[in-house]
Amino acid sequence: MWKEFKNFIQKGNVLDMAVGIIMGTAFTAIVNSVVEDLLMPIITGLTAGVDFQDLVVNVGGATLKFGNLINAIITFLIISLVLFLILKSMHKIEPVSDEPTTKECPYCKSEISISATRCPNCTSELEGYHNEHAHTHSENVVVK
């Protein structure tokens, strides 16, 4: 359990997570500001001075501040849209997978499964070649 925890910290996951949380907090503050300081005044202007924040509905004795709810929904939609765009652009840059799923047979040069120990095309034994090949690939992944 401790060994797993040590690996978890050393892999930099904790640092990545911390950076993510800090960035997320700062980002939320920016989006909140955009909604409250830029979007809301425009909407207020368009709706002839009706301030969204002050929008309340009285039902019986209860006061429903649905202006705040609309605010939160708009904030949520903007954050979702930005996150979607970030994720989309990240997928464009990074290949879907770093792990190769095929390798080249050293004897007949055909493309075969990465875990194959015998070539399906020329029936050559590939045991030794497979290990050496896998090693070079794991080194490539670390460089990334």
* Binding footprint of Zn ion on the chain (CB under 5 A): 105, 107-108, 119, 121-122
- In the complex, the smallest distance separating the C-beta of residue 124 from Zn ion, rounded to whole angstroms, is 5
Complex with Zn ion: residue 52 or 103, whichever CB lies closer:
103
CB of 82 to Zn ion, least distance (A): 49
In the complex, least distance from residue 135 CB atom to Zn ion, rounded to whole angstroms: 20
Q: Which is nearer to Zn ion, 41 or 128 (CB)?
A: 128
Cβ–Cβ under 8 Å, residues 66 and 55:
yes
User: Which one, 88 or 109, has the nearer CB to Zn ion?
Assistant: 109
Closest CB to Zn ion among residues 51, 111: 111
Beta bridge partners of 85: none
Residues 104 and 110 sit within 8 Å (Cβ to Cβ): yes
The smaller minimum CB distance to Zn ion, of residues 34 and 112, is found at 112
**Cβ 105 to Zn ion shortest distance, Å:** 3
> What's the min distance (Å) between Cβ of 127 and Zn ion?
13
Rounded Cα distance, 108 and 122, in Å: 6
- CA 123, CA 125: separation in Å to the nearest integer? 7
- Other C-beta atoms within 10 Å of 4: how many? 7
Phi/psi class of residue 28: alpha, beta or left (left: φ > 0; alpha: ψ in -120 to 50)?
Answer: alpha
And the tokens for 137?
Answer: 């690939």
State the residue for tokens 């005044």: 41
